[in-house]
Amino acid sequence: MEVIARGEGPLFSDPDPDKLRTFFRQKSRALTNKVTTVADAVRRFAHDGDYLAIGGFGANRIPTAVCHELVRQGRRSMIFAGHTSTHDFQILAAGEVFDRCDNAYIIGLEARGLSPNARRYMQSGKVRMAEWTNYGLALRLKAAAMGVPFLPGRNMLGTDTFRKSAAIAARDPFTGKIVTLFPALSPDVAAIHVHEADVYGNCRLRGISIADLELARAAKRLIITCERLVPTEVIRAEPTLTVIPYYLVDAVCEVPYGSYPGVMPGEYFSDEEHLRLWLKTEEDPVAFGRFFDELVRKTKDFQEYLDRCGDVRRIQQLRAQELLLDAGQAR
Partner 1 sequence: MATYSTMEMMIVAAARELEDGKSVAVGTGAPCAAAMLAQKTHAPNLVIFFEAGGVAPILPQMPISVGDSRTTWRAVMASGMAEIMETCQRGMVDYCFLGGAQIDPYGNLNSTSIGDWDRPKVRFPGSGGANDFASFAWKVMIITPQDARRFVPQVDFVTTPGYLDGPGARERAGLPENGGPHRVITNMAVLGFDPQTRRMRVESVHRGRTLAEVQANCGFELPAAPQVGETPPPTEEELEILRTQVDPLRYIIGR
Around Cβ 73, how many Cβ atoms within 10 Å?
15
Cα separations in angstroms, 109 against 106, 115, 116, 119, 276: 8, 7, 11, 12, 10
Q: Does 211 bind partner 1 (CB under 8 A)?
A: yes
- Binders of partner 1 among residues 43 to 62 (CB under 8 A) are 56-61
Nearer to partner 1, 30 or 324 (CB): 324
Question: Which of 126-134, 227-235, 283-291, 309-317 is the region at the interface with partner 1 (rule: CB under 8 A)?
Answer: 126-134
**108 counts as binding partner 1 under rule CB under 8 A:** yes
By the rule CB under 8 A, 132 interacts with partner 1: yes
The C-alpha angle 46, 51, 93, rounded to 5 degrees, equals 85
- 66 exposed, middle or buried (CB, 10 Å; 0-12, 13-18, 19+)? buried
**Residue 160 interacts with partner 1 (CB under 8 A)?**
yes
Question: With CB under 8 A as the contact rule, which of the stretches 138-146, 188-196, 226-234, 310-318 interacts with partner 1?
Answer: 138-146
Q: Does 173 bind partner 1 (CB under 8 A)?
A: no
Q: How far is CA 218 from the centre of its chain?
A: 13
Q: How far apart are CA 257 and CA 67, in angstroms?
A: 14
Query: Total residues at the site for partner 1 (CB under 8 A)?
Result: 65
Q: Is 103 in the site for partner 1 (CB under 8 A)?
A: yes
The interface mask with partner 1, positions 7-46, x = CB under 8 A, is: ----------------------------------------
Which one of residues 1, 23, 43, 158 is an interface residue with partner 1 (CB under 8 A)? 158
Residue nearer to partner 1 on the CB measure, 35 or 210? 210
Name the residue nearer to partner 1 (CB basis): 208 or 287.
208
- Contact between 148 and partner 1 by CB under 8 A: the answer reads no
* Long-range Cβ contact pairs of 23-26 (< 8 A, separation 24 or more): 23/186, 23/220, 24/220
DSSP assignment of 219-230: -SEEEEEEEEE-
CA distance to 115, 215, 322, per residue, from 195 (Å): 28, 17, 15
Residue at 159: amino acid letter:
T
Q: Does residue 79 contact residue 52 with C-beta atoms inside 8 Å?
A: yes
Write out the residues near partner 1 by the rule CB under 8 A. 4, 56-61, 82, 84, 86, 103-108, 110-112, 114, 119, 122-123, 125, 131-136, 138-139, 142, 153-161, 164, 169, 177-180, 206-214, 263, 265-266, 269-270, 272, 322, 324
